[in-house]
Each structure stands twice: as structure tokens, then as C-alpha cells.
């Protein structure tokens, strides 16, 4: 894994870099072959509170977690724990799904490599029209609605756009105010 560690309102020392790389490197034990993903780490300090945000884009999966704590090293430990839970949860779900479908490859999760999870940002300004301040582009992955909810929860978002693997249409899952989930399908 290649590490991209940035500091915001804090200088990222060699000791911090080594600690982050050592802790996140332990996640490689969940893979048969080490992923070739970039690991994006953003460390920031606001009002004496340390915040760390880690994003690891991989094929069919985007691992993302953030944590705040008064101690930076404790925040790093907590964010790694979150990432481990996400990997275990996804691995369990993938293995269960393939067992139900009847005998798919055992090492599907381990074969995940870096793929283009391309998020391009554009800013467009036009005084005469509605102002769109950010545009994101990404590939829609075919999945079922349950997997889309899992991805949405891992990202910490309120909605998730995906291609329904059953119908081939673009769908949206979202978190309702009552805490349950909704699905938007085209008619």
C-alpha cells in the first residue's frame, strides 16, 4: 500500500508517519495478497482535538473511517479498529452471499486490487444560473440494495447511488429520518 499522509494545522513528523503506516499496515493480514491501493490519511487539529480520516479505495469496496480524540495516537488506534470492523463485516457478507449462490471462489475478497474509484472534483461558476460548487464522478458498481446500504454506512453518507445487479437500472438507497432505509427505483 502507498501512503499519502497530510497534516492540517499539524506537522506530520516521521514518528507519526511510521505509527500510521505500522497500524494501517496491519490491515494487510485480512488479504491473501496485499492490496496495491493508495491509503489517504488526513490528520488535523482543531481546538486541541485531534482528528484522523483514512480512505482506502479498492475494487468493489471503499474503506473510509474518521475519528476524533484528544490524543492523536489514540485516534489512530480507534480509526484502525473501525476499518478492521468494516473489512470483517464486508468479508462476512461476501462469503455468505457466495455460499448462498452455491460455490463461488473462496478468495473473492482477497482478489480486490486497486481500481479506478475516480472522484473528480470540478468547480463551475456562473452568475446567471444555479451555482454548482462540486461535481463528483464515479463508476456505478452492480450490487444489490443490501450491499448498497452496507457501502453507504461504511462511507457515513445519508444516501448511495448504485446500479441494481438484478434490474440493471440506477437506484438510490437512503437513510430515513426514523433510522430505517429507503430505496428509490425508476418506474
Q: Give strand pairing partners of 183.
A: 173
User: 140-187 adopts what CATH topology?
Assistant: SHC Adaptor Protein (3.30.505)
Strand order in the sheet with 181-184: 142-143, 159-164, 170-175, 181-184
pLDDT at residue 73 greater than cutoff 80: yes
pLDDT at residue 93 greater than cutoff 80: no
Rounded to whole angstroms, how far apart are CA atoms 18 and 112? 25
pLDDT at residue 125 greater than cutoff 80: no
pLDDT band with cut points at 50, 70 and 90 for residue 95: low
Average pLDDT over the chain, rounded to whole?
A: 77
Domain boundaries, the chain: 2-101, 140-187
Rounded to whole angstroms, how far apart are CA atoms 174 and 171? 10
pLDDT at residue 59 greater than cutoff 80: no
Residue 47, CA atoms < 13 Å, CB-side half-sphere: 1
Helix (H) or strand (E) holding 92: helix 72-101
pLDDT at residue 11 greater than cutoff 80: yes
Give DSSP secondary structure letters for 6-50. Answer: EEESS---HHHHHHHHHHHHGGGGGSSS----EEEEEEEEETTEE
2-101: CATH number: 3.30.160.100
**For 166-176, how does the pLDDT look when each residue is reduced to its tens digit (9 = 90+)?**
888 999 999 88
Amino acid at each position: 500500500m502507498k501512503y499519502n499522509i497530510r497534516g492540517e494545522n499539524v506537522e506530520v513528523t516521521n514518528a507519526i508517519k511510521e505509527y500510521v503506516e505500522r497500524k494501517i499496515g496491519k490491515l494487510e493480514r485480512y488479504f491473501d495478497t496485499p492490496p496495491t491501493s493508495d491509503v489517504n490519511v488526513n490528520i488535523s487539529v482543531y481546538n486541541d482535538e485531534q482528528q484522523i480520516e483514512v480512505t482506502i479505495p479498492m475494487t468493489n469496496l471503499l474503506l473510509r473511517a474518521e475519528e476524533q480524540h484528544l490524543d492523536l495516537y489514540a485516534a489512530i488506534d480507534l480509526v484502525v479498529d473501525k476499518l478492521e470492523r468494516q473489512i470483517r463485516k464486508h468479508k462476512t457478507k461476501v462469503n455468505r452471499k457466495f455460499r448462498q449462490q452455491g460455490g463461488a471462489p473462496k478468495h473473492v475478497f482477497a482478489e480486490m486490487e486497486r481500481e479506478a474509484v475516480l472522484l473528480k472534483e470540478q468547480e463551475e461558476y456562473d452568475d446567471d444560473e444555479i451555482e454548482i460548487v462540486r461535481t463528483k464522478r464515479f463508476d456505478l458498481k452492480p450490487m444489490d440494495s443490501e450491499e448498497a446500504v452496507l457501502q453507504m454506512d461504511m462511507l457515513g453518507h445519508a444516501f448511495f447511488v448504485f446500479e441494481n445487479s438484478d434490474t440493471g437500472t440506477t437506484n438510490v438507497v437512503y437513510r430515513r429520518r426514523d433510522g430505517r432505509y429507503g430505496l428509490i427505483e425508476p418506474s
